[in-house]
Amino acid sequence: MWQTGLALVAGAGAWTTWDLLRPGEATGFGGKVRAFPPEAVPETGVIEVTAARSYLVSINGETRALSRKCTHLGCGVPFCDSSGQFECPCHGSVFNRAGEYRAGPAPRGMDQHPIEIGEDGLIYIDTGTIIEGPPPGSESIDEPPSGPSCAQEAH
């Protein structure tokens, strides 16, 4: 009788362990993060998706998800409203609104994440996949800085 009880406990432990360890679809950062409806992404400016550690931008009618991690040393890159650019506060790399390299020590533009529109009509950002940013010199939009940089304002 005690052997049967022990076997039942062992079986329950194995079942519970399998439920905890089996692979599942990742959600949250490192998986697919639900964001906003496509029409919420402004034609100019950006929208931050904190859970995805990224920004949504609309470039020439196409929505892109830009990683907020600088391609130089991984600092978080905020969007500067006054200049209309992304400006890394750590070492001074600058990227246009499309995430393309403009200045500084970064080796390339901001990395991107693929997006898809879900059945619920919302944008889903696949943070588990990284698309390397474009090389320096490849600007697809003609948006010069719209004002002073945030770094200049801080001094």
* Mean pLDDT value across the chain: 83
Q: Which long-range contacts (CB under 8 A, 24 or more apart) does 24-31 make?
A: 26/128, 29/53, 29/127, 30/127, 30/128, 31/126, 31/127, 31/128
Helix (H/G/I), strand (E/B), else coil: 55: strand
Domain count, the chain: 1
Quote the CA–CA distance of 2 and 29 in Å, as a whole number. Answer: 46
Tell whether 16 is covered by a domain: no
Tell whether 152 is covered by a domain: no
Tell whether 150 is covered by a domain: no
pLDDT band at 16 (very low <50, low <70, confident <90, very high): low
Tell whether 154 is covered by a domain: no
- Residue 150: the pLDDT is 87
Q: Which residues constitute the domain of residue 59?
A: 28-137
pLDDT band at 13 (very low <50, low <70, confident <90, very high): low
Sign of CA dihedral 81, 83, 89, 95: positive
The amino acid at residue 18 is: W
Tell whether 88 is covered by a domain: yes
- Residue 24: the pLDDT is 41
Looking at residue 111, which CATH number applies to its domain? 2.102.10.10
- pLDDT higher for 96 or 44? 96
With 80 as the cut, is the pLDDT of residue 10 above it? Answer: no
The per-residue pLDDT for range 88-129, each reduced to its tens digit, is 998 889 999 999 999 999 999 999 999 999 889 999 999 999
Nearest of 45, 110, 53, 54 to residue 83 by alpha carbon = 45
- Give mean pLDDT, residues 123-150: 89
Quote the CA–CA distance of 34 and 108 in Å, as a whole number. Answer: 27
The amino acid at residue 22 is: R
The per-residue pLDDT for range 22-37, each reduced to its tens digit, is 444 445 566 788 888 8
